[in-house]
Amino acid sequence: MRNRKNLNIRIVRELVISEFKLRYQNSYLGYFWTLIKPMLLFGVIYLVFSVFMKSPVENYPVYLLLGILIWNFFAEATLIGMNTFMTKRDLVTKIYFSRATLIVASAFSSLITLLLNLVIFSVFMAISGIMPGAEALIFVIYLVELFLVATGVTFILAAMYIHFHDLQHIWEILLQIGFWLTPIIYPVTIVPSEYHRYIFLNPLARIIEYSRDIFIRHHVPSLYLNLILALMTIVIFCAGYAIFKTQEHKIAEKI
């Protein structure tokens, strides 16, 4: 009798391990390539907004880099994740196993990249002379929430992608719009306060702002705000999974 216990967890683990090896072990530049994109973006924006436009934000490099790294994770995870049934087409059409494992594994692979990038971030913090306090530990919760939001959104996108193969282009455009509508390069204070409620409908805006609170401003967001973010995360993840489940059995036929 085959051991079915934790089969999905074991599959996710093996998929993540092999993805990691493929990405980093076989090319010395593997990590460099995943780092160069957010760092270039960071460099250009820093030049324009800090050197040319004299941004009033304190500790702007750290502030900006944290926002870019979090956003970059979300963008990469969703874009790569929604495409995963295409890249793993062989597996999907010739072996039966839970298709959700492919989405979750893809999200974990992106998370590993984020964790490596956060090492660079801590170097930046040290250079800027910011010492994180005990409150920085809350960041672990934000990382989990970020992961669940990205995975939930990927579930929805992947379910739609099997029907609309140009969804990737549309999502890329939406991500670009999202980049500017999220307080990544500008402080949320420059937005008129009557728009704040709309800005913070976006869980990423909350994750980025709250992370800056704990790292840079040494201030813990209120329990109320944290509960709202947690609720948003749960709703997005569960809705995404539920939508995905309705389409899961069609994936092998449609891909």
Partner 1 sequence: MISASKDNMEGHNLAISAADISKAFIVPHERRDTLKEGFINLFRKRTYEHFRALDCVSFQLRPGEFLGIVGRNGSGKSTLLKILAGIYRADSGKLDIRGEIAPFLELGVGFQQELSARENIYLNGTLLGLTRKEIKARFDSIVDFAGVRNFIDLKIKNFSSGMRARLAFAIAKEADADIYLFDEIMAVGDEDFQQKCLNVFREWKDNGKTVVFVSHTPNLVEEFCNRAILLDGGKVVFDGTPGETITEYHRLIK
User: Which residue in the set 37, 163, 219, 245 belongs to the binding site for partner 1 (CB under 8 A)?
Assistant: 163
- 10/219 with CB nearer partner 1: 10
User: Both tokens of residue 171?
Assistant: 């999502």
User: Shortest distance, CB of residue 93 to partner 1, whole angstroms?
Assistant: 7
User: Which residue in the set 39, 79, 138, 167 belongs to the binding site for partner 1 (CB under 8 A)?
Assistant: 167
21 burial via Cβ count (<10 Å: 0-12, 13-18, 19+): exposed
In sequence order, what DSSP letters do the residues of 15-50 get, joined into one string?
Answer: HHHHHHIIIIIS-TTHHHHHHHHHHHHHHHHHIIII
CA distance 62 to 81: 28
CA distance 43 to 65: 9
CA distance 1 to 32: 45
Convert residues 18-57 into a mask of x (bound to partner 1 by CB under 8 A) and - (unbound).
x--xx---x-------------------------------
CA distance 181 to 94: 42
CA distances from 63 to 70, 121, 186 (A): 11, 10, 9
165 binds partner 1 per the rule CB under 8 A: yes
Convert residues 89-128 into a mask of x (bound to partner 1 by CB under 8 A) and - (unbound).
-xxxxxxxx-------------------------------
- 54/249 with CB nearer partner 1: 249
Q: Among the candidate windows 15-23, 69-77, 123-131, 201-209, which touches partner 1 by CB under 8 A?
A: 15-23
7 binds partner 1 per the rule CB under 8 A: yes
173 binds partner 1 per the rule CB under 8 A: no
CA distance 49 to 60: 9
4 binds partner 1 per the rule CB under 8 A: yes
Which residues in this chain contact partner 1 in the complex, by CB under 8 A? 1-4, 7, 10-11, 13-15, 17-18, 21-22, 26, 88, 90-97, 163-167, 170, 249, 252-253
